[in-house]
Structure 1
Amino acid sequence: MGTEDEDVRDIASLLADECTQTILTETVTEPMSARELSDVCDVSPQTIYRRLDGLLDHGLVEAETKPDAEGHHYKVYTATLDRFVVELTSEGLELSISRRNQMADRFTRFVDEVRDR
């Protein structure tokens, strides 16, 4: 079994999980912290972090560090997955992933705003 086959299986297994699906759907429009995701998914923070690790490993979410009111930092997560397609061909399963480029989009908006001032 090749690396691509392992990736297909890993991602498919990850996406089959209900908690992972909730993480992706909840973070598609608004970044959320692990604590917020833990509440929404009704699972432990450790479970959320395990799912986030898998999603981060495959580039399906991105993390951004934010400061809080007391000067500490925490991460928020945003789904980057746009589309996941597995196609059965005579060669085997072919994986196609489309990702949003949200971090770059936010940076571009920031630069545009600074330029407009």
Structure 2
Amino acid sequence: MSEEDRIEAVGAVLADPTARHILVETSQEPMTASTLSDRCAVSEPTVYRRLERLRECDLLVEQTRPDPEHGHHRTVYATDLDRLTVTLRDGTLALQVDRREDPSDRFTRLIEGM
């Protein structure tokens, strides 16, 4: 995907209020599609469509977690997105995605740097 196509795809998904709501909710903690459906007050099929678009734009990740209560696993969605920046320099648009660093990754990087 070209940089221009990427900017267009991210812009299109961020123009959707439900997609933005999903990003806000999943920035606090990973959530299931069912929980997101309740929090966003939309149907689960609508949530799944937005989740797919957000994943395609690399703004959201899907994680599988054990569910000890029901004896199997469940899928949750989360974002580590911190900032999106679109810059215009020398006649070219560029998209920069800044992500929050997981504390365990930060600790590992600190230890490895010693």
> What TM-score do you get using the length of structure 1 for normalisation?
0.78
> Match of 2:99?
99
Identity of aligned residues (%): 40
Q: Are 2:16 and 1:13 aligned?
A: no
Query: In structure 1, what residue type is equivalent to 2:43?
Result: S
| Alignment map for 1:68-107 (pairs within 5 Å) | 68=67, 69-102=69-102, 105=103
Unaligned 5+ runs, structure 2 = 108-114
| Helix, strand or coil at the partner of 1:85 | strand
Unaligned 5+ runs, structure 1 = 110-117
For 1:92 and 1:26, the matched residues in 2 are separated by: 32
| Alignment map for 1:1-117 (pairs within 5 Å) | 3-68=2-67, 69-102=69-102, 105=103
> What TM-score do you get using the length of structure 2 for normalisation?
0.80
| Helix, strand or coil at the partner of 2:48 | helix
Q: Report the RMSD for the aligned CA atoms in angstroms.
A: 2.0
For 1:90 and 1:107, the matched residues in 2 are separated by: 35
Task: State the shift of 1:23 in Å.
Answer: 0.6
Query: In structure 2, what residue type is equivalent to 1:25?
Result: V
For 1:79 and 1:92, the matched residues in 2 are separated by: 27
| Helix, strand or coil at the partner of 1:32 | coil
Aligned length: 106
Choose between structure 1 and 2 for higher RCO, CA contacts under 8 A separated by at least 6 residues.
2
Moved over 6 A (4+): none
For 1:29 and 1:106, the matched residues in 2 are separated by: 17
